[in-house]
């Protein structure tokens, strides 16, 4: 027998051996807090966990003996075995175990001296109580109670205990009478040992929606980084090529490089700039001829016309006619602008 247990009675040695076997036969062992859980609820929790996890209740000293005998990184669980502890054995990962234990919790009435896990709020509205001493009892703990219509009514919503504050006896009694059960009772996972690592509740309490949204955001940012840094991947190479083509066209237009793929863009840009100058001149008192005004009007309606390609395809002959009209208007507009500036 190991040095740690040679002085223990037989029944304690058997308990230590059982704990060691449970740890060795499962991929995860956790330390849970059993404080304040009624015996009936413990049995219900065992039934809910059956087939998934096994709870082993033992004295903290025996847990310490077993962990020390096993040694290594699992012995660090001793730092988390405080109060009325027990061990839980499972082959699930710690995140699933944490969620499972959270689902086993139920609401219970608060006892004097317990700490409020959250703000305890009493909503306004009628109660089932008839007029009597209950009104004074509620008022003594800061709950604004009054008699209306032969019933006791809470006149306004009131926070009677803030998160982290101790619940005194008068408040606890009032909460019981109001049927308020603020305490979450169940197995509280203090730490879990899994794959040579200790997991604490702060690491396991994950908001899955927030986590999923963060993954989506990270994927979007990685995609943008790949495109902007020109790091081609299977998912981003098309976007990189598209961006390069767009930027090359922009350079070609800005530098007035007359290539077949961008000459129309250059002419269109020149046309827009010409019309902008013409309209600016009009604003300074210059009169524009009818052809230039028509060209300006045509430019402002070009975008809506381009937004309906399907309708244009139905009438190809009309589209060609309209195109010819626009060319004539543009030529007339340029001629009018030339006349304007001599």
- pLDDT of 243 > 90? The answer is yes
> Which of 171, 153, 170 has its CA nearest to residue 161?
171
E strands, the chain, are 28-33, 53-57, 85-90, 106-108, 120-122, 125-126, 145-148, 151-154, 158-161, 183-185, 188-194, 197-199
Give start-end residues of each CATH 3.30.70.1730 domain in the chain. Answer: 3-105+186-206
Q: Give 57's strand partners.
A: 86
> In the chain, pLDDT over 70 holds for what percent of residues?
85
CATH second-level architecture of 3-105+186-206? 2-Layer Sandwich (3.30)
Residue 206: how many CA atoms within 13 Å on its side-chain side? 16
pLDDT tens, 2-12?
Answer: 445 567 788 99
Q: Supply the pLDDT for residue 149.
A: 86
User: pTM of this prediction?
Assistant: 0.57
Give the tens place of pLDDT for each residue, 126-141.
999 999 999 999 999 9
- CATH 3.90.105.20 residue ranges for the chain: 120-183
Q: To which CATH superfamily is domain 120-183 assigned?
A: Ribosomal protein L10, N-terminal fragment, domain II (3.90.105.20)
At residue 234, does pLDDT exceed 70? yes
- Can you tell me the distance from the alpha carbon of 184 to that of 164, in angstroms, rounded to the nearest whole number? 14
pLDDT of residue 342: 38
The DSSP 8-state label assigned to residue 225 in this structure reads: H
Q: What is the pLDDT of residues 33-66, one digit of tens each?
A: 988 788 888 888 888 899 999 999 999 999 999 9
């Amino acid at each position: 027998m190991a040095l740690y247990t040679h002085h223990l009675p037989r029944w304690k040695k058997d308990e230590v051996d059982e704990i060691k076997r449970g740890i060795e036969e499962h991929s995860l062992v956790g330390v849970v807090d059993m404080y304040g859980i009624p015996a009936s609820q413990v049995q219900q929790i065992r039934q809910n966990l059956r087939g998934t996890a096994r709870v082993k209740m033992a004295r903290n000293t025996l847990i310490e003996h077993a962990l020390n005998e096993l040694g290594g990184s699992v012995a660090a669980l001793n730092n988390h075995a405080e109060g009325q502890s027990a061990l839980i054995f499972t082959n699930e990962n710690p995140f699933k175990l944490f969620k499972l234990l959270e689902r086993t919790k139920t609401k219970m009435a608060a006892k004097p001296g317990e700490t409020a896990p959250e703000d305890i709020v009493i909503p306004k509205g009628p109660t089932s109580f008839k007029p009597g001493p209950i009104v004074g009892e509620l008022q003594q703990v800061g709950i604004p109670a009054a008699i209306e219509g032969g019933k006791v009514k809470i006149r306004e919503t009131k926070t009677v205990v803030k998160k982290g504050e101790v619940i005194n006896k008068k408040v606890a009694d009032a909460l019981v009478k109001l049927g308020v059960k603020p305490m979450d009772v169940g197995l509280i996972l203090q730490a879990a040992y899994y794959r040579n690592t200790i997991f604490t509740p702060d690491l396991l309490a994950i908001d899955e929606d927030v986590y999923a949204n963060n993954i989506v955001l990270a994927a979007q940012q990685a995609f943008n980084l790949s495109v902007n840094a020109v790091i081609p991947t299977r998912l981003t190479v098309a976007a990189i090529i598209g961006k390069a083509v767009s930027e090359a066209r922009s350079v070609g237009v800005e530098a007035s490089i007359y290539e077949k793929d961008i000459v129309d863009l250059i002419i269109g840009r020149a046309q827009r700039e010409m019309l902008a100058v013409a309209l600016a001149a009009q604003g300074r008192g210059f009169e524009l001829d009818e052809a230039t005004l028509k060209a300006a009007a045509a430019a402002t309606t070009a975008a809506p016309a381009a937004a309906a390609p399907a309708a244009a395809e139905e009438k190809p002959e009309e589209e060609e006619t309209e195109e010819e009209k626009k060319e004539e208007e543009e030529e007339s507009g340029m001629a009018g602008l030339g006349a304007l500036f001599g």
